[in-house]
Amino acid sequence: MAPVNSPLQTVWLKESAYNAILIETIKKMPLETGGILMGYWGNNNEAVVTAVIGPGSKAIHLKRSFIPDNEYHLEEISSHYADSGQTETYLGDWHTHPKANAYLSGRDEETLIAIANHKEARLPNPLMMILGTKPFGLKVWTHSYVKHFFYTKRVISECKIKLY
């Protein structure tokens, strides 16, 4: 798990995971699509995304929203976790903004906060990766709680993406 007092700085994205996002984006254009980010927390406030899970066959794709196949996601997360020897886990979500840029909308921010506060997810520092197609760009944000002297502050910050 990423440290509570230090916002995430870098997200490493495996090239095959990036390609899977691109393929899914093209298949669903001009509709929105998305899925799950899988991987692990590295050193120095870094997340490592090793794989992505697509939307699932029961997902609903609209022009400005996407409703994932949650049952499929739960099964795939569990399977990936087991197949990785319990080293790779759920890191957050990804989705597209067709015919728009990669930005964190109000709904996206609410989703990021909801993931962080969802006890079963056990993920106080979730990622939200967004692929915009106009202009083309991929960005990622993280949620964290930063402790100050007398209070804890919620921080949502953009991270660097590095392909490997």
State residue 6's pLDDT score. 53
- Sign of the torsion formed by the C-alpha atoms of 117, 74, 108 and 86: positive
Listed by start position, the domains of the chain span: 10-163
Least Cα distance to 118 among 143, 96, 139 occurs for 143
State residue 95's pLDDT score. 98
State residue 4's pLDDT score. 45
> What is the homologous superfamily of the domain 10-163 according to CATH?
Cytidine Deaminase, domain 2 (3.40.140.10)
- What residues have CB less than 8 Å from 61, skipping those under 6 apart? 28, 31, 32, 33, 55
Inform me whether the pLDDT recorded for 3 exceeds 60. Answer: no
- Cα(43)–Cα(56) distance, integer angstroms: 32
State residue 150's pLDDT score. 84
Average pLDDT over the chain, rounded to whole?
92
Q: What is the pTM of this model?
A: 0.90
Average pLDDT over every residue of 26-49: 94
Average pLDDT over every residue of 75-103: 97
**SS3 readout for 50-103:** EEEECCCCCCEECCCCEECCHHHHHHHHHHHHHHCCCCCEEEEEEEEECCCCCC
Instruction: Answer with the residue of higher pLDDT: 117 or 161.
Output: 161
Inter-residue contact 69 to 34 (CB < 8 Å): no
Which structure tokens are listed for 17?
Answer: 């995971």
Least Cα distance to 76 among 38, 43, 131 occurs for 38
